[in-house]
Amino acid sequence: MCGIISYLGNRKNAGKLIVDGLKKLEYRGYDSFGFVEAVPSTSSGQRNGKFKLTKKVGKISEFPSSTFHFPLSNLALGHTRWATHGKVNRANAHPHLSADRKVAVIHNGIVENHAALRKELQKKGVQFASDTDTEVIPNLIAEFLKRGNLREAVRKTAKKLKGRFAFVAMVEGEKKLIAARNGSPLIVGIEKFFPKSDDRLISKIDGSAFFIASDVPAFLNFTRDVVYLDDGEMVEIEPSPKKDHFHAHFFEIENGDEIKKRVISIDWKAEKAEKGDFAHFMLKEIFEQKETIERALNQDERQIEKVAGLIRKSFGTFFIGCGTAGKVCATAEYLFAKIARRHVNVIFGSEFDTQEPFLTERTLLIAVSQSGETADVLEAYKIAKKRGVQTVGVVNTEGSSVARHSDVVLPVNAGMEKAVASTKATTAQLAILTLLAYAVAGKLDEGRQMLAEAASQINDLLNPRYSEHLEKIARKIKNVESLYIIGKAADYPMALEAAIKLQEVSYIHAEGFAAGELKHGPLALISRGTPLIAFVPTGEYRADVLSNVAEVQARGGRIIGVSAENDDLFDEWIRVPNVGNAQPIVNIIPIQLLAYHLAVLRKNNPDLPRNLAKSVTVK
């Protein structure tokens, strides 16, 4: 959901740094982009800090750097957009300038009261150039600047905004970056951090350059020293009295009081975020599942046992997640029932507020999130905290909001996932929830062994021949209008997840059902040649699911069986190993490959599907 990055420091190619950074953030939004560079004085002394604004519609990755002319500049900010308010066009692309063109702003989130603020500003004669909610921000700053300094103007502006937001501003002629956060992520990267002592909890940080971005990858090539801004906080970056140094200063939005922040050294590796020899990140990440599932199992035993203890003690455990993570959560209901004989509640992040009356200090909330920044999950956390609920985060992104606000964190360890459609994070999350169910049953070692065996089978399964087999099936069904997926027990949420995967990247209408539910309605949708993907178990439930498959076959459906054993009913057989309670993990992998090949055959970009974004930081 909108990627933002800004830079102030010693380097003189700020514009290029911003463009390179935006290319790394493209997964956040990719309908249009833009940046502003502050151009210092030339020999004729004419452009003292003047703004140079560039905006384009389209994906930034499709514009080579040679498209742009970068003037010498050490101060710039940029944005890659996922539209919320206003169509995709140049006018609505960020950065947005105030009507007097003195203030430039990039923003991620939604200003819920933008209509009222716009009216207020219009009454004062401000003319708007776009349909966005964002444009009120630079204009409010410009208004407050008439009566105060930049920090106060930004602080007062931030206080007026309702909704979740993160924005960065700069003013023509001032060597400053200033940013505020309330709900959407904002991270300060410090190039060449100069600590004054061992103490990393400081209110004024010295460095040779600073980045402020929505995500770490934007500046990972330059530094691993970061400060995470929390809600209600702002940061100001400006030149320090020391030559060639800059400093970052932190404040509260509410009253402007100075605050101390901790500088953290993160352990991310930049090279992991490149796609290497693979045609797309999605394919690379599918193949990485050879290792990631095993890595997910490498949990601190004490932490797993601690969470298992919390589940046992709780009066009501809720698993929450959104999108794919929500489907992962839905498997928990089946896994915990079967493995641990325990009932758990599952609900999408966006629906959690409906459960508020049932939350007490004995409730446990377990959030599953790849990014750790999904707004619907963070809103659920707010409610949980209010009610004294304990929280556990199963999160892939170190330092993310969910990770920082959870009482206990179980790291997913899948490494950075860049393709919008989640694959390796999904199976790693599934492995952790399965392990947790075993821990609750008091059988952690047994669970670990079973999952390690499954991981090694996945290692054997994921090879180019397997991928070719899926591509052949994709060729046969690439022009269908609709397809359906069924599964029973924990394979039912996997049928839902398979549907999401296929929808996201192939744009084919796909729907998942509980196997036994087809005959209660959806069977009417089956006609000659309609593909049905069926997760068919080998033991318990095989006969049940095969009867449901037969009902579809009898109506002309084309059956694609995902199973460890073939069957006469199958038109196509996708072989998977038999891995007991790890079956959902194994079953989803061929569907990820099928979705990938369908996307490529239908000429879609599987990494950046239309209308979507990797991390959704608005409600």
Q: Which residues are catalytic?
A: 2, 614
Is residue 377 involved in binding ligand G6P (CB under 6 A)? yes
Beta carbon of residue 395, minimum distance to ligand G6P (angstroms, whole number): 8
412 is an interface residue for ligand G6P by CB under 6 A? no
- The two tokens of residue 296 are 């997910």
Q: Which of residues 577-606 bind ligand G6P (CB under 6 A)?
A: none
Q: How far is the CB of 327 from ligand G6P (least distance, A)?
A: 8
Smallest separation, CB 367 to ligand G6P (Å): 8
**Site stretch for ligand G6P (CB under 6 A), options 135-143, 321-329, 444-452, 507-515:** 321-329
422 contacts ligand G6P (rule: CB under 6 A): yes
Q: Which is nearer to ligand G6P, 502 or 616 (CB)?
A: 616
In the bound state with ligand G6P, the residue whose beta carbon lies nearer, of 406 and 548, is: 406
Q: Which of 189, 207, 217, 323 binds ligand G6P (CB under 6 A)?
A: 323
- Cβ distance to ligand G6P smaller for residue 27 or 287: 27
> Which residue(s) pair with 57 in the sheet?
32
* Closest to ligand G6P by CB, 83 or 97: 83
Work out which of 79, 261, 488, 614 binds ligand G6P, going by CB under 6 A: 614
Q: How far is the CB of 270 from ligand G6P (least distance, A)?
A: 20
Binding residues for ligand G6P, how many (CB under 6 A)? 15
472-495 b/e (C-beta count within 10 Å ≥ 16 → b): ebbeebbebeebbbbbbbbbbbbb
Angle between helices 444-461 and 424-440 (to 10 degrees): 160
Which C-beta is closer to ligand G6P: that of 552 or that of 612?
612
Q: What is the DSSP string of 318-383?
A: EEEE-HHHHHHHHHHHHHIIIII----EEEEGGGGGGGGGG--TT-EEEEEESSS--HHHHHHHHH
- Of these, 130, 139, 345, 370, which contacts ligand G6P (CB under 6 A)? 370
What is d(CA 361, CA 30) in angstroms, rounded to the nearest whole number?
Answer: 42
Residue whose pair of structure tokens reads 């394919």 in the numeric block: 283
Stretch that binds ligand G6P, among 135-143, 182-190, 371-379, 591-599 (CB under 6 A): 371-379
CA distance 157 to 163: 13
Q: DSSP per residue over 457-526, as a string? A: HHHHH-SHHHHHHHHHHHHHHTT-SEEEEEE-TTHHHHHHHHHHHHHHHH--EEEEEEGGGGGGTGGGG-
d(CA 293, CA 286): 11
Give the pairing type, strands 317-321 and 364-369. parallel
As beta bridge partners, residue 561 has: 534, 573
Closest CB to ligand G6P: residue number: 323
325 in contact with ligand G6P (CB under 6 A): yes
Separation between Cα atoms, residue 574 and residue 228, nearest integer Å: 45
Nearest-approach distance from CB 305 to ligand G6P, in angstroms: 25
SS3 content of the chain, % helix, strand, coil (to 5): 40, 25, 35
Q: How far is the CB of 377 from ligand G6P (least distance, A)?
A: 6
Contacting positions for ligand G6P (CB under 6 A): 322-325, 369-371, 374, 377, 420, 422, 612, 614-616
